[in-house]
């Protein structure tokens, strides 16, 4: 019993990391149908910039804010310099641009910072919390809480605010959105800035657990993408549930079956879900194509 | 037509003149200064560049300066092969140092063997020098030696039943296999055998399995990069009361920082003298070479030395020593023969004595068992 609880704690911790990355995918996908594969790099930047600002003497919360601001500026720059000039290109081309951007960001990070791994102290210390014979680190609670907070924030943003609805409208039909007076260029800029900020926030939360180095983004982006596909691309609820489920699949496989098959089982489950429900667990059914 | 001929002749003459004017020793290096193995190749490249400069300032070998050609293969075995070929054919080097990883080493190795150029590898796998290849040598200990060192220490502690948790990266997987092979010889029984991916963020499920396996007296974690640091933190989180052993793959000060001094307290691993440079006794055989290298590297790059830079240091020292004794900086065969006759060369990793049957030339004494105590390394022998 305590073993099961330990596996679930592990699964929720890792799953919340995946969920945060998947939530970052949601916004840009909603605005442009583009899956931004530089999302993992935003997470990496959040961690890296915080590490170096913290080591330069800034207090941790301030270092985190600086990292989030710089990363969202980089997100906006990515939109302005790479995505906007390619306006009108097919979605696949835009996705390839984001992959290119992720390589550029990785290379630049190597040059600006270094190639070593880093971490900064956990927010509330490293003393594990004991629950029914299992243990969880306080930082895990921060990550899980962070994922929930971002989820609630995005849910409110997309369903209750005019701006959020403008984002959805832009994704649905750019021309129609322009006709009703939505500044679609601004919506895209906002989306990139916001999703970069969410990525960086995730990086700040997870670095004390996962450590950060210039190349951690790739694996995060892939797992976050898998989580988003599982939950349903573009849906915050899907991103959250997909991330947590993926983490739990992995942990339970490692715990009960074998750590050798951990990744394989997780992806087999995802494939299974996508065969039965191609749109993911919470994705809207696609009916627009005739 | 005649103009072209004249131009060509001039170029050829210039080339000959340039060659003759600087009698120099052409040394080739291909390491992974960037890419996924950059933390290996970066200090290696820096070390060799620094040592070549130092040597040339001091007048070179027998009055001849070293001309260094350094390529960055980015950890890609295909690139490493291309660079090795280019080193031999275009740059006409007399010896090659490199191959930060086992993969790139294997690429360079076949070129060196075909062309008859002495090659010193900086990678760990035992398959590089076992079976012995005529032109191939290497400086790092093998992972099998690391296993033997750890098991010897376990035996001394009365530990006979262990659980293993290994990274699935090349280093972790290779060492996992080697440890399983030699465990029996040391009376060690592996009761649990878990793995984790190199980028995994949490290993508590695997460690819980190990903890729930009856009779496990210690945990051994072969791996490098972020994995071992996370394993160390998870072991502390789960409150293990049995000792944790790490491999030489994490033998650097950065590891203590990443894992946290508190979580790493009491952890043991086999490391080199380089790691405890400031704690070596002055009469230690390696004291001088380790201190000189550590101080020079720190002064030049404002960074701490790593075990990996130490491997490159030793490879360079071996080449310089061999060329000096060969007395002929043009003949790769003479250099190879001198290299194989290396006897008692003290490096940062250990004392090298090559023979026709042994192209590694280190024994277990080159490894020192270290324990982390109050956030610092403590020799425990």
- Per residue in B47-94, pLDDT tens? 999 999 999 999 888 888 999 999 999 889 999 999 999 999 999 999
Residue A248 domain-assigned (yes or no): no
* E strands present in chain A: 129-131, 134-136
Q: Using CA atoms in the order A249, A251, A256, A259, what is the torsion angle rounded to 10 degrees?
A: 110
Closest CA to B135 of B111, B157, B117, B162: B117
| Cis peptide, bond prior to residue B303, ω within 30 of zero | no
Residue A269 domain-assigned (yes or no): no
Q: Using CA atoms in the order A83, A89, A92, A94, what is the torsion angle rounded to 10 degrees?
A: 0
Contacts of residue B340, Cβ cutoff 8 Å, sequence gap at least 6: B137, B354, B355, B356, B359
Nearest to A6 among B208, B230, B254 (CB): B208
Contact A177/A184 with Cβ under 8 angstroms? yes
Nearest to B226 among A135, A211, A260 (CB): A211
Residue A85 domain-assigned (yes or no): yes
Burial A83-93 (b: 16+ CB within 10 A, else e): beeeeeeeeee
Q: How far apart are CA B43 and CA B29, in angstroms?
A: 13
What's the whole-model pTM score?
Answer: 0.84
User: Which of B208, B209, B306 would best serve as a mutation to test chain A binding (most A beta carbons within 10 A)?
Assistant: B208
Q: Does B194 touch chain A (CB under 8 A)?
A: yes
Q: Does A87 touch chain B (CB under 8 A)?
A: no
- What mean pLDDT, rounded, does chain B reach? 88
Q: How far apart are CA B208 and CA A163, in angstroms?
A: 47
Contact B338/B120 with Cβ under 8 angstroms? no
Q: Which residues of B touch A137 (CB under 8 A)?
A: 237
DSSP helix/strand/coil, B218: strand
Residue A193 domain-assigned (yes or no): yes
Q: Which residues of A touch B258 (CB under 8 A)?
A: 117-119, 211
Note down pLDDT in tens along chain A; length 290 residues: 678 999 999 999 999 999 999 999 988 988 888 889 999 999 999 999 999 999 999 999 999 999 999 999 999 999 999 988 887 888 899 999 999 999 999 999 988 998 888 999 999 888 889 888 889 999 999 999 999 999 999 999 988 999 999 988 888 888 898 898 888 888 989 999 999 999 999 999 999 999 999 989 998 998 999 999 899 888 889 999 999 999 999 999 988 888 888 888 878 888 888 888 888 888 765 555 44
Q: Following DSSP, what letter does each residue of B291-313 receive, concatenated?
A: HHHHHHHHHHHSS---HHHHHHH
Residue A78 domain-assigned (yes or no): yes
Q: Could you report the per-residue pLDDT of A220-261, keeping only the tens digit for each?
A: 998 999 999 899 888 889 999 999 999 999 999 988 888 888
**What distance in Å separates residue A242's CA from the closest CA in chain B?**
17
Q: How far apart are CA A197 and CA A74, in angstroms?
A: 10
The tokens describing A146, both together, are 């962070």
Q: How far apart are CA B351 and CA B344, in angstroms?
A: 6
Contact criterion met (CB < 8 Å) for A211 and B194: no
- Number of folded domains that form chain A: 1
Please identify which residue in the block is written with the tokens 């020098």: B129
The sheet carrying B368-373 orders its strands as B189-196, B161-167, B218-221, B244-246, B268-271, B368-373, B376-379
Residue A267 domain-assigned (yes or no): no
DSSP helix/strand/coil, B239: coil
Pick A147 or B170 by higher pLDDT.
A147
At residue B1 the predicted structure's pLDDT band, cuts being 50, 70 and 90, is very low
Please identify which residue in the block is written with the tokens 């040394």: B27
Contact criterion met (CB < 8 Å) for B205 and A252: yes
**What distance in Å separates residue A19's CA from the closest CA in chain B?**
14
Q: Does A264 touch chain B (CB under 8 A)?
A: no
Residue A217 domain-assigned (yes or no): yes
User: Cβ–Cβ contacts within 10 Å for residue A152, how many?
Assistant: 12
DSSP helix/strand/coil, B138: strand
- A88: alpha, beta or left? (left if phi > 0; alpha if psi -120 to 50): left
The tally of CA atoms less than 13 A away on the side-chain side of residue A117 is 28
* E strands present in A101-259: 129-131, 134-136
Contact criterion met (CB < 8 Å) for B197 and A263: yes
Q: Does B202 touch chain A (CB under 8 A)?
A: yes
Q: Does B184 touch chain A (CB under 8 A)?
A: no
CA distance readout (Å), B62 to A152, B23, B29, B43, B59: 73, 11, 21, 27, 8
Q: Does A224 touch chain B (CB under 8 A)?
A: no
Q: Which residues of A touch B205 (CB under 8 A)?
A: 6-7, 10-11, 251-252, 254-255, 259
**Per-residue pLDDT, B22:** 53
Q: How far apart are CA B371 and CA B271, in angstroms?
A: 10
Q: How far apart are CA B80 and CA B71, in angstroms?
A: 8
Q: At what angle do helices A162-172 and A184-210 cross, to 10 degrees?
A: 100
Q: Which residues of A touch B212 (CB under 8 A)?
A: 3
Contacts of residue A126, Cβ cutoff 8 Å, sequence gap at least 6: A137, A138, A139, B233, B236, B237, B260, B262, B263
DSSP helix/strand/coil, B156: helix
* E strands present in chain B: 24-31, 65-72, 95-98, 119-121, 136-138, 161-167, 189-196, 218-221, 244-246, 268-271, 345-346, 351-352, 368-373, 376-379
Q: Could you report the per-residue pLDDT of B174-219, keeping only the tens digit for each?
A: 899 999 999 999 999 999 999 998 888 899 999 999 998 889 999 9
The tokens describing B26, both together, are 């052409």
The tokens describing A119, both together, are 């971490």
**Per-residue pLDDT, A285:** 58
**What distance in Å separates residue B237's CA from the closest CA in chain A?**
6
**Per-residue pLDDT, A84:** 87
DSSP helix/strand/coil, A135: strand
Q: What residues form DSSP beta bridges with B246?
A: B221
Interface A–B counts its CB contacts (< 8 A) at 90
Residue A151 domain-assigned (yes or no): yes
Q: Does B379 touch chain A (CB under 8 A)?
A: no
Q: Does B262 touch chain A (CB under 8 A)?
A: yes
Nearest to A259 among B196, B229, B239 (CB): B196
Domain span including residue A129: 17-222
């Amino acid at each position: 019993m305590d073993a099961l609880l330990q596996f679930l704690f592990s699964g929720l911790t890792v799953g919340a990391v995946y969920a945060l990355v998947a939530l970052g995918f949601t916004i840009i996908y909603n605005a442009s149908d583009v899956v931004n594969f530089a999302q993992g790099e935003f997470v990496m930047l959040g961690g890296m910039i915080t590490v170096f600002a913290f080591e330069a003497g800034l207090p941790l919360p301030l270092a985190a804010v600086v990292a989030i601001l710089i990363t969202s500026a980089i997100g906006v720059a990515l939109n302005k310099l790479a995505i906007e000039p390619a306006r009108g290109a097919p979605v696949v081309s835009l996705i390839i641009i984001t992959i290119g951007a992720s390589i550029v960001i990785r290379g630049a990070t190597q040059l600006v910072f270094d190639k070593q791994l880093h971490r900064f102290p956990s927010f509330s210390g490293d003393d594990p919390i004991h629950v029914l014979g299992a243990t969880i680190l306080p930082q895990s609670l921060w990550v899980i809480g962070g994922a929930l907070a971002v989820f609630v924030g995005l849910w409110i943003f997309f369903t209750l605010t005019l701006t959020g609805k403008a984002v959805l409208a832009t994704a649905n039909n750019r021309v129609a959105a322009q006709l009703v007076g939505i500044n679609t260029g601004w919506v895209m800029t906002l989306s990139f800035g916001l999703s970069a900020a969410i990525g960086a926030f995730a990086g700040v939360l997870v670095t004390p657990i996962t450590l950060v180095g210039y190349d951690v983004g790739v694996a995060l982006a892939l797992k976050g993408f898998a989580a988003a596909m599982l939950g349903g691309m573009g849906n915050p609820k899907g991103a959250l549930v997909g991330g947590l489920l993926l983490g739990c699949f992995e942990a339970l496989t490692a715990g009960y079956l074998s750590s050798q098959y951990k990744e394989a089982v997780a992806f087999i489950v995802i494939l299974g879900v996508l065969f039965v429900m191609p749109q993911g667990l919470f994705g809207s059914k696609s009916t627009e194509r005739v | 037509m005649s103009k072209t001929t004249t131009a060509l002749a001039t170029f050829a003459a210039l080339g000959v003149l340039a060659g003759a004017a600087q009698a120099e020793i052409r040394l080739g290096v291909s390491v992974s200064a960037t890419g996924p193995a950059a933390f290996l190749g970066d200090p290696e490249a820096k070390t060799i560049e620094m040592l070549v400069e130092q040597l040339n300032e001091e007048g070179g070998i027998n009055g001849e300066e070293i001309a260094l050609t350094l390529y960055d293969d980015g950890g890609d075995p295909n690139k490493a092969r291309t660079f090795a070929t280019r080193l031999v054919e275009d740059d006409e080097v007399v010896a090659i140092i490199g191959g930060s990883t086992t993969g790139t080493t294997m690429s360079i190795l076949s070129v060196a063997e075909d062309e008859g150029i002495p090659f010193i590898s900086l990678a760990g796998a035992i398959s590089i020098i076992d079976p012995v290849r005529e032109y191939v040598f290497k400086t790092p200990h093998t992972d099998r030696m690391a296993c033997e060192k750890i098991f010897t220490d376990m035996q001394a502690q009365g530990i006979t039943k262990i659980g293993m948790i290994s990274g699935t990266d090349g280093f972790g997987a290779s060492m996992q296999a080697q440890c399983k092979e030699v465990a029996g010889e040391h009376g060690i029984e592996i009761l649990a055998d878990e793995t984790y991916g190199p980028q995994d963020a949490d290993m508590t499920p695997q460690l819980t399995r190990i903890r729930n396996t009856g009779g496990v007296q210690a945990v051994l974690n072969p791996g490098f990069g972020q994995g071992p640091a996370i394993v160390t933190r998870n072991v502390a989180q789960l409150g293990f009361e049995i000792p944790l052993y790490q491999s030489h793959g994490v033998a650097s000060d950065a590891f203590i920082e990443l894992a946290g001094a508190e979580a790493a307290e009491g952890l043991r691993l086999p490391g080199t003298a380089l790691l405890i440079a400031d704690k070596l006794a002055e009469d230690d055989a390696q004291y001088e070479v380790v201190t000189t290298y550590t101080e020079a590297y720190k002064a030049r790059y404002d960074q701490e030395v790593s075990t990996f830079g130490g491997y490159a240091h030793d490879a360079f020292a071996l080449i310089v020593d061999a060329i000096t004794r060969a007395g002929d900086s043009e003949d790769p065969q003479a250099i190879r023969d001198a290299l194989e006759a290396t006897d008692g060369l003290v490096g940062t990793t250990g004392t090298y004595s090559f023979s026709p049957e042994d192209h590694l030339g280190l024994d277990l004494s080159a490894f020192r068992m270290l324990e982390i105590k109050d956030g610092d390394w403590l020799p425990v022998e």
